[in-house]
Amino acid sequence: MISWLAYYDDVIGHMFVLMILAFSMYVVMRVGVFSVASIGFWAIAGYGAAIADQYDVPPLLIVGGALLVSGVFGLLLALLAVRLSGLSLTMVTIAFVLLLQVIVLNWEDVTGGSLGIFGLPVHIGTYGLLAVVIVVAVLLALYERGRTGRAQDSLLHDEQLAQSVGIDIRRQRIVALTLSALLGGLAGCLNVFQTGMMVSNEVGFHVVVDALTMVILGGTAAWYGPVIGAAILAWLPQMLSFADEWRLAVQGVIIVVVLVFAPQGAAGLIQRLARGVAAKRRSSLLKRREPQDVSA
Amino acid sequence: MSGYFVDAMILGSIYALFTVGLSLSWGILGVLNLAHGSIFMAGALSAYMITSAGALPLAVVLPASMLVSGGLVVLMELVAFRPIRRRAANPLAAELPMAIASVGVSSVLVAFANNFTAGYSLSLPQDMFTVSSINILGLTITNIGALIVVFAIGLTVALGLYVARSRQGRALKVIAQDSYVGGLLGISMNRLALGTMFISGALAGCGGVLFSIHVNSMHAYMGEALLLKAFAVIVVGGIGSIWGAAIGAYVLAAAEVLAVVSVGVGMRDVVAFVLIIVILLARPQGLLSKRKWQRS
Amino acid sequence: MALLEVAELDVNYGPLAAVRGLSLELEESQVAVILGTNGAGKTTTLNAISGAVRARSGTVSFDGRNVTNSAPWKISRSGLGHVPEGRRIVGPLTVEENLLVGAYNVRSRGRRSELIDDVFDTFPMLAEKRDELGGLLSGGQQQMLALGRALMAEPRALLMDEPSMGLAPIMVQHVMDAVQTIAARGIAVLMVEQNATAAFRVATEVYLIEHGEVILHGPVDQVQNSELVRRSFLGI
């Protein structure tokens, strides 16, 4: 067991980083928004962390800075984006990521161009990442059980209904987009701390596909959706060792198949199963009680 | 000076070929096809594959490639968009899952292209089409450049007239406004969707083939950068408007050439993003779209 | 055999039953009205007949053919038109274009313009507005346009969902006159209404529905005198 953990330490650590990125996607998807801005903040924070690291800035300060920058830019983007509806909002976030891609590739002096920035110290291990994931997951779970979280549930199901019962969708979306930016930035920063490098691929198309695979596969029904999605994505390369070059294709097929056949993803299926079991138990309890009622 | 004009015309024509179909499927069917860049690339790639089987002239290769790229989008419609639309509670609820599914399809296409090209750039064979310089109205332009302009203007005008005048064109406008009423009037959304998707893909494929001859290169990600440009074009022209997309395409191209001339090459890809943000801040419904038919 | 036959129709929205075991018949050239309060399942019934909403069970047959859960466009093509609730005029199209769209499945250009002229003859009010945008018409004009649009498909029967909704009393009169004109051409009409007084002027058959079920059915002159209808719909 110990040797297995040691052998797969990198995979497990990366899985935790992916979980935070998945959380970042998840919080916006839950309010009925398809945004890929998470990947933008993942990239901004990643490059920011890598560059600061070269100047030996203390890691905690880097994390703080990454959160601050992501939060501020996230809020700005959110304020612009909530004026738009549905696909237009999606479009703006994609444009944002595409622009960053152009900047990263062209601003070679700072970003290292297509090669990226290498050979940075590793600041965080698997247990540290696990701790961060647990903290984030607990906070999200609490948030979901709170008033705001419940508001988002109704938002997911019916936008008009939510509005009619006095839920401020605009504010909800601003909160979700900003939170998503913070989590995306955190994930990007931790990614650099774990791997010791930042490459231009991390702004590219494949991160968008990764992020979507996680959040679609896991589903947005509950906080454990992205956890499941990230766990599967992290182990996908091990499972597909025969065809690493086809990984993108496999993920693409997964996205389409899940969307068509199980749109609620893994978390949705689990919830439905749990509900089914609960209903069955309830009905069997009722049945058992029936004779007593008759005798009484 | 006239060189810049020619550059802008060619660039704008590529943008137009690319964007018209994207805008149409978005405006009429609510499909933001994020695989559109990959379809553009697939057009070029299929031309490469066809010509590697045997020497053929462009007059044969181009229609064949348009058939392939159009067919791919039709396949997307059948495999992903239609099932998602059928399951959705209302047309609006299908928009986000369809956009996400298109990323999945794009991922499959990119993986295929990456494997086929082994990550390198390819160029189409010279014997398919020999590039040379010609003189038109005192302007020096390559024959492929002239062909791009002719195709872009010809196909856009033909499509614009068709949609404005034909029975099917009117039906498309109905579907775009109200698919429920379309059904009650005997209009089959599924059939029109197939036609719209085919045209959208074929135009992108046409652009892909001609563009890869023009720059003498093609690779797996060649369409991705165009997505950012297309978004700017759609924001200028209004979602779903053919004329708007055509005008927007040349406006963006002119602005980009102007930015390159006056500021420098680095500005080229920023123009599109700035246009998107500025226009959406000022007029979230798009620059050229109007709403005069709504009663106050 | 009746032109339109609905038998034991059930429609559910999720776990909620909107229509339960509903049966009705519409004879050739007949005008029938479905009365019911808000939420009784009237609109759902029409939508299920024209295929816009899935029926869970039961059958709908039109002109002797089973069309249960067929695609709306196929049902429309078979000669059963549907004038939807709230008219649903296509705002950015002109009056003429809106009419042309109604004749989507009429392939001949010549036939289409004959039909248009016919509609303009029947509803001269529309002829004056020929080139105006549909979205700019008044509610009553839009209702006329919706009726005209449905006529463009040369239907044998029309479903009409609350044609009088939100109209001034004088416009209600005009619309009901239009319905009568349509019926006089031999087109069967199945109309949903809340305005019973207006509907009874043109209808011959009445179905009263509540909670998705038919609770009373009969010819107008009999139903008119039933206590239930008098109290709930005629305000007497």
* Model pLDDT for residues A112-128, shown as the tens digit of each residue: 888 888 888 888 888 88
Identify the residue whose tokens are 């159009």: B70
* Average pLDDT, integer, range B215-227: 92
Shortest CA distance from B225: residue in chain A: A98
Whether chain B has a CB inside 8 Å of the CB on A56: the answer is no
Shortest CA distance from B170: residue in chain C: C101
| pLDDT tier, A294 (very low <50, low <70, confident <90, very high otherwise) | very low
Q: Is the dihedral of CA B193, B195, B200, B204 positive or negative?
A: positive
CA contacts within 13 A on the Cβ side of A47:
27
Identify the residue whose tokens are 């060792």: A241
| B69 vs B124, residue with greater confidence | B69
Identify the residue whose tokens are 């700005």: A76
Contact partners, residue B230, CB within 8 Å, separation at least 6: B15, B18, B19, B22, B23, B36
Strands C4-13 and C57-62, sheet pairing: antiparallel
Contact partners, residue C53, CB within 8 Å, separation at least 6: C11, C44, C47
Q: With respect to residue A291, please indicate whether it lies within any of the assigned structural domains.
A: no
* Average pLDDT, integer, range A199-227: 91
Determine which of B185, B192, B243, B285 to mutate to test the interface with C (most C C-beta atoms within 10 Å): B185
Whether chain C has a CB inside 8 Å of the CB on B63: the answer is no
* Model pLDDT for residues C4-58, shown as the tens digit of each residue: 999 999 999 878 899 999 999 999 999 999 998 888 899 999 999 999 999 999 9
- Phi (first) and psi of residue B211, to 5 degrees: -65, -40
Chains in touch with C (3+ beta-carbon pairs under 8 Å) read: B
| pLDDT tier, B119 (very low <50, low <70, confident <90, very high otherwise) | confident
Q: Are the C-beta atoms of residues C67 and C37 closer than 8 Å to each other? A: no
3-state secondary structure A163-199: HHCCCCHHHHHHHHHHHHHHHHHHHHHHHHHHHCCEC
Average model confidence (pLDDT) for chain A? 85
Termini Cα distance of chain A: 58
Is B108's CB within 8 Å of A98's CB?
no
| Closest listed residue to residue A71, CA positions, set A108, A79, A26, A291 | A79
- Report the number of secondary-structure helices (H) and strands (E) in chain B: 12, 2
Whether chain B has a CB inside 8 Å of the CB on A91: the answer is yes
Q: What is the pLDDT of residue B203?
A: 98
Chains in touch with A (3+ beta-carbon pairs under 8 Å) read: B
Q: Please report residues of C whose CB lies closer than 8 A to that of B177.
A: 90-92
Looking at the predicted structure, is the pLDDT value of residue A3 above 90?
Answer: no
Per DSSP, the residues of chain A read -HHHHHHTHHHHHHHHHHHHHHHHHHHHHTTT----HHHHHHHHHHHHHHHHHHTT--HHHHHHHHHHHHHHHHHHHHHHHTTS-HHHHHHHHHHHHHHHHHHHHH-HHHH-TTT-B--PPP---HHHHHHHHHHHHHHHHHHHHSHHHHHHHHHHH-HHHHHHTT--HHHHHHHHHHHHHHHHHHHHHHHHHHHS-B-GGGGSHHHHHHHHHHHHHH-SSSTHHHHHHHHHHHHHHHHTGGGGGGHHHHHHHHHHHHHHH-TTHHHHHHHHHHHHHHHHHHHHHHHHHHHHHHH-
Is B185's CB within 8 Å of C102's CB?
yes
Q: What is the pLDDT of residue B285?
A: 66
| Closest listed residue to residue A226, CA positions, set A192, A286, A184, A185 | A184
Q: How far is CA B248 from CA A96, A100, B205, B289, C184, in A?
A: 20, 23, 20, 12, 52
- Phi (first) and psi of residue B201, to 5 degrees: -70, -40
Q: What is the pLDDT of residue C167?
A: 92
Q: How far apart are CA B92 and CA B31, in angstroms?
A: 10
Q: Please report residues of B whose CB lies closer than 8 A to that of A216.
A: 100
Shortest Cα distance, chain B CAs vs residue A32, angstroms? 8
Single-letter amino acid code for the residue at C137: L
- CB count in 10 Å sphere of residue C215: 12
Is C102's CB within 8 Å of B183's CB?
no
Whether C and A touch, i.e. at least 3 CB pairs below 8 A, reads as: no
Contact partners, residue B200, CB within 8 Å, separation at least 6: B20, B21, B22, B24, B25, B33, B36, B70, B73
Q: Please report residues of B whose CB lies closer than 8 A to that of A260.
A: 79-80, 83-84, 87, 101
Looking at the predicted structure, is the pLDDT value of residue A151 above 70?
Answer: no
- Phi (first) and psi of residue B130, to 5 degrees: -95, 120
Q: Please report residues of B whose CB lies closer than 8 A to that of A84.
A: 280, 284
Determine which of C16, C90, C98, C112 to mutate to test the interface with B (most B C-beta atoms within 10 Å): C90
Q: Are the C-beta atoms of residues A176 and A69 closer than 8 Å to each other? A: no
How is residue A253 written in tokens? Answer: 């097929």
C-contacting residues of B 187-246, CB under 8 Å? 187-190
Q: Are the C-beta atoms of residues C43 and C192 closer than 8 Å to each other? A: yes
| A140 vs C157, residue with greater confidence | C157
Burial grade of B258 (CB within 10 A; 0-12, 13-18, 19 or more) = middle
Q: How far is CA B208 from CA B204, C48, C77, C87, in A?
A: 6, 45, 40, 44
Q: What is the pLDDT of residue B77?
A: 97
Is C93's CB within 8 Å of B174's CB?
yes
Single-letter amino acid code for the residue at C160: M
Q: What is the pLDDT of residue C25?
A: 95
Q: What is the pLDDT of residue A284?
A: 61
Looking at the predicted structure, is the pLDDT value of residue A26 above 70?
Answer: yes
Q: Please report residues of C whose CB lies closer than 8 A to that of B180.
A: 52, 84, 88
Average model confidence (pLDDT) for chain C? 92
| Closest listed residue to residue C156, CA positions, set C111, C186, C116 | C186
Is B177's CB within 8 Å of C82's CB?
no
CA contacts within 13 A on the Cβ side of C90:
27
Shortest CA distance from B32: residue in chain A: A87
CB-closest option in A80, A102, A206 to B281: A80
| pLDDT tier, A155 (very low <50, low <70, confident <90, very high otherwise) | low
Q: How far apart are CA C93 and CA A83, in angstroms?
A: 27
Is C76's CB within 8 Å of B183's CB?
yes
Shortest CA distance from B87: residue in chain A: A260
Shortest CA distance from A251: residue in chain B: B104
* Average pLDDT, integer, range A85-103: 91
* Model pLDDT for residues C68-120, shown as the tens digit of each residue: 999 999 999 999 999 999 999 999 999 999 999 999 999 999 999 999 999 99
Looking at the predicted structure, is the pLDDT value of residue B33 above 70?
Answer: yes
Q: How far apart are CA B280 and CA A84, in angstroms?
A: 8
| pLDDT tier, B2 (very low <50, low <70, confident <90, very high otherwise) | confident
Chains in touch with B (3+ beta-carbon pairs under 8 Å) read: A, C
Q: Please report residues of C whose CB lies closer than 8 A to that of B184.
A: 50, 52, 72, 76, 81-82, 84
Helix axes B242-262, B143-165, angle to 10 degrees: 150
Is B26's CB within 8 Å of A87's CB?
yes
Q: What is the pLDDT of residue A1?
A: 62
Kindly state the helix (H) or strand (E) to which residue B116 belongs, with its residue range: helix B91-117
Whether chain C has a CB inside 8 Å of the CB on B295: the answer is yes
* Model pLDDT for residues B147-190, shown as the tens digit of each residue: 999 999 999 999 999 999 999 999 999 999 999 999 999 999 99
Whether chain B has a CB inside 8 Å of the CB on A265: the answer is no
Q: How far apart are CA C29 and CA C32, in angstroms?
A: 10
User: In 3-state terms, what secondary structure has residue B248?
Assistant: helix
Is B171's CB within 8 Å of C101's CB?
yes
Q: What is the pLDDT of residue B37?
A: 97
- CB count in 10 Å sphere of residue C108: 10
In angstroms and rounded to an integer, the radius of gyration of the C-alpha atoms of chain B is 19
Per the structure, the complete domain to which residue A233 belongs is given by: 10-264
Q: What is the pLDDT of residue A289?
A: 44
Is B104's CB within 8 Å of A246's CB?
no
CB-closest option in B26, B108, B276 to A253: B108
Q: How far apart are CA B5 and CA B9, in angstroms?
A: 6
* Model pLDDT for residues A236-264, shown as the tens digit of each residue: 888 877 677 888 999 999 999 999 999 98
Whether chain C has a CB inside 8 Å of the CB on B96: the answer is no
* Average pLDDT, integer, range A167-195: 91
User: How many Å is the maximal CA-CA distance in chain A?
Assistant: 86
Q: How far apart are CA A170 and CA A187, in angstroms?
A: 26
Q: Is the dihedral of CA A43, A44, A45, A51 positive or negative?
A: positive
Global pTM reads 0.91
Is A95's CB within 8 Å of B228's CB?
yes
> What CATH number does the domain containing A135 carry?
1.10.3470
Is A94's CB within 8 Å of B227's CB?
yes
Q: Are the C-beta atoms of residues C207 and C217 closer than 8 Å to each other? A: yes
Structural domain count of chain A: 1
Shortest Cα distance, chain A CAs vs residue B129, angstroms? 31
Shortest CA distance from C82: residue in chain B: B184
* Average pLDDT, integer, range B129-146: 89
Q: Please report residues of C whose CB lies closer than 8 A to that of B293.
A: 91-92, 133-136
| pLDDT tier, A147 (very low <50, low <70, confident <90, very high otherwise) | low
Shortest Cα distance, chain B CAs vs residue A262, angstroms? 10
Long-range Cβ pairs for the range A155-161 (8 Å, 24+): A155/A30, A155/A31, A155/A32, A156/A30, A156/A31, A156/A32, A156/A220, A159/A32
Determine which of B82, B173, B177, B181 to mutate to test the interface with C (most C C-beta atoms within 10 Å): B181
Is B95's CB within 8 Å of A86's CB?
yes
Is A260's CB within 8 Å of B84's CB?
yes
Is B101's CB within 8 Å of A95's CB?
no
| pLDDT tier, A290 (very low <50, low <70, confident <90, very high otherwise) | very low
Question: ipTM for the complex?
Answer: 0.92
Shortest CA distance from B292: residue in chain C: C92
Q: With respect to residue A204, please indicate whether it lies within any of the assigned structural domains.
A: yes
CA contacts within 13 A on the Cβ side of A67:
10
Whether chain C has a CB inside 8 Å of the CB on B89: the answer is no
CB-closest option in B30, B99, B111 to A252: B111
Between CA B191 and CA B199, with CA B195 as vertex, the angle to 5 degrees is 165
Shortest Cα distance, chain C CAs vs residue B180, angstroms? 7
CB-closest option in B185, B190, B294 to C76: B185
Whether chain C has a CB inside 8 Å of the CB on B165: the answer is no
Q: What is the pLDDT of residue B1?
A: 66
Q: Assign residue C87 a region: left if phi > 0, alpha if psi is -120 to 50, beta otherwise?
A: left
Looking at the predicted structure, is the pLDDT value of residue A61 above 80?
Answer: yes
How is residue B290 written in tokens? Answer: 């109007």
- CB count in 10 Å sphere of residue C184: 11
Q: With respect to residue A33, please indicate whether it lies within any of the assigned structural domains.
A: yes
Is B96's CB within 8 Å of A205's CB?
no
Shortest Cα distance, chain B CAs vs residue A37, angstroms? 14
